[in-house]
Amino acid sequence: MSASSSSGSPAPTVAVVGATGLVGETVLRVFEERGFPVGELRALGSARSAGTRVHFRGKEHAVEEATTERLRGADFVFFAATGELSRSMAPAAAAAGAVVIDKSSTWRMAAHVPLVVPEINPGALAPFGRTGGIVSCPNCTTIGLVMALEPLRRAAGLAHVTVTTLQAASGAGREGLDELRGQRSALFPRALAGNVIPQCERFQESGYTTEEQKLSDETRKILALPALPVTMTCVRVPVAVGHSAAVLVETEHPLSPEEALDALRAFPGLSVGSANEYTTPLELAGRDDVHRDDVHVGRVRRDPTHPRRLWLWTVVDNIRKGAATNAVQIAEELLARR
């Protein structure tokens, strides 16, 4: 890879905090697949992971401990680690001129921080120009939902959304996968193997979990519909990779299943078959083609109890489009704007 981008300007210096984690490793892989210009790579992590090595573009890179000093001079900083690291280091990196793209929940609902899915609200990145700042990457469950909702919103408006998510173990990181495989325990509130758990993260006084609260709040912010009624149940299922959802959408104006399918097919980043077709997490996680980062939508049908309600099924790779790919797409959008 040359030291300059396709525009002829120097390729950016990129820091990845959490480079040894599931999402961090996938960020590096997506850089390679999409040809993202990286002049200097700084692979960073916790003190515990310092000294390990990651592979990137045919070379091994030593992982260093993430410090404010190691973020200085970076053009892009990807936080794919704990919220605590982002909370303590992101503001200083942004103040020094870096664009911080954060995958944790730390900054998502901050009024001054854009929450971005590039296919939906790229205009939220307009204030950045050539200056630094923090951009938040939504929850992996939220991304799959809003990608399916946005074309329906544009076609007929949204009046109400009810969703039941079926979330893979990897949504809790590498530790979640270990627990699914029986290599550890106590991460989830009940045994996950051979089971389903109607609880993702911790309960609040309302009876809803923090994961459910994120899904509601983030959906409204991304779609710029602060009063949209969104209600949900988030369920952990014994699947390694791939978040699914059964979604009931009530539109403001009548929309037939055929019209909904047309709107969904015309929207970038979606894979849509016929009304009765659907994709499963196992099928999506095994894909190695141009559609692996798409949100897959199927089973689009009218709710027989209401003339403006439609049911649909969605599946998203929570590690790729639900996390790493969306973060890289944000950086690509910012480079294109410069």
As a whole number, the mean pLDDT across the chain is 94
Q: Which of 23, 335, 312 is nearest to 149 (CA)?
A: 312
Can you name the CATH fold of 13-137+323-337? Answer: Rossmann fold (3.40.50)
Q: Give residues with Cβ within 8 angstroms of 263, minimum separation 6.
A: 151, 152, 154, 155, 255
Structure tokens at 299: 């089973």
Residue 236 sits at φ, ψ, to 5 deg, of -90, 130
CA dihedral 112, 220, 121, 335 (to 10 degrees): 40
Q: Which two tokens stand for residue 139?
A: 């929850």
Q: Write the pLDDT tens digit of every residue in 82-112.
A: 889 999 999 999 999 999 999 999 999 999 9
Question: For residue range 243-285, what is the model confidence (pLDDT) as tens digits?
Answer: 999 999 999 999 999 999 999 999 999 999 898 999 999 999 9
Average pLDDT over residues 196-206: 97
Phi-psi sector, 179: left (phi>0), alpha (psi -120 to 50), beta: alpha
pLDDT tens-digit readout, 296-332: 999 999 999 999 999 999 999 999 999 999 999 999 9
**What is the residue extent of each domain of the chain?**
13-137+323-337, 140-318
Tell the residue number behind the tokens 């990651």, with chain if given. 54
C-alpha closest to that of 164 among 1, 303, 314 = 314
Taking 60 as the threshold, does the pLDDT of residue 47 lie above it?
Answer: yes
Residues known to be catalytic:
140, 243
What whole-number distance in Å separates Cα of residue 316 and Cα of residue 95?
A: 34
Type of residue found at 232? M
Residues 6+ apart with CB under 8 A from 18: 24, 44, 45, 79, 80, 81, 82, 85
Q: Selecting from 3.30.360.10, 3.30.559.10, 3.40.50.300, 3.40.50.720, what CATH number does the domain 140-318 have?
A: 3.30.360.10
